[in-house]
Amino acid sequence: MENTVQHNYRYIQVQPISGALGAQIEGVNLANPLSCGIATEIRQSFLDHLAIFFPNQKLTPLQQLVFAQQFGQPIEYPQLMGLLECPLVTAVTKLEHEQANFGGVWHSDTTYLERPPMASMLYAVEIPPYGGDTLFANQYLAYDGLSNGLKQTLDGLTGVNVSTKPEVSMTRENRLRESGVELKALVAEHPVVRTHPETGRKALYVNNAHTSHFKGWTEQESQPLLDYLFKHQIRSEFTCHLRWSQGGLAFWDNRCCQHNPVNDYKGFRRIMHRVTLAGDKPC
């Protein structure tokens, strides 16, 4: 069940990093304006590989934002303050004394919104001397790997997604308390299986961080099937592993990809700059 997409690229070098998803992109300086040809190929590699990685970049927040604007509409991250000098860029920070990292569980970003983001971009400003890697999982393959009977069951279900699951909201709550912002509970309903608006492929669209139950089911009734899906959708053959380097940028598709930042760098600081791109209503 590999992601066997093959395209010829003229302007960039695309090196897959696993059979499931993920590719490293070489031959482009993201601080410079992109030609139409380069931007088109980056977009194609994003659709082909779901998560793409650009090593050795040197970006100011404004340069990161300008790069992001070539692929979508940047939006504010809900419930967190952006940088003063560039409000559409958010600092994702874990300090030396903190135990929990930001979003440290498998998830697709902010599925508790009516229109979850199309994509996220994360730029490595300061990384620990070791650890702090990010895992990604291909949700096309997760759906394809289900039995026909379970696919038929899931195709008719709606998931209820919330912002207040404690395992993912803890660090966000810390940041809000520091800035004096009130935490709001957000809820949105989305199909358990969504069709990607650009590729037409079906992807499993529940996640452990935000999906609480199925619409019309109780949480107790939903939990056994959700537990199965949460384990299934992160099987090792569906995943890739990103080892961050200083100045690296990751760009991933929230519509068909989950991620999990590994919290294994106790006592060290990790600072990333994030841009979120607006998405559509899942269907």
Q: How far apart are CA 74 and CA 268, in angstroms?
A: 30
H/E run at residue 227: helix 219-232
Choose, from 48, 49, 109, 210, the residue flagged as catalytic.
Answer: 109
* Catalytic (active site) residue 241: no
- Using only C-alpha atoms, what is the Rg of the chain? 18
Provide the token pair at 48.
């082909």
Q: Is 109 a catalytic residue?
A: yes
- What is the Cα–Cα distance from 69 to 67, expressed in whole angstroms? 5
* Separation CA 234–CA 241 (nearest Å): 12
- Check 107, 172, 175, 255 and give the catalytic one: 107
107 is a catalytic site residue: yes
Cα separation, 248 vs 251, whole angstroms? 10
| Catalytically annotated residue among 196, 255, 259, 273 | 259
Residues in the chain: 283
Instruction: Please give the full DSSP string across 141-179, using - where no structure is assigned.
Output: HHHHTS-HHHHHHHHT-EEEEES--HHHHHHHHHHHHHH
Is residue 48 flagged as an active site residue? no
> Which of 175, 213, 255, 274 is labelled catalytic?
274
The residues assigned a catalytic role are 107, 109, 259, 274
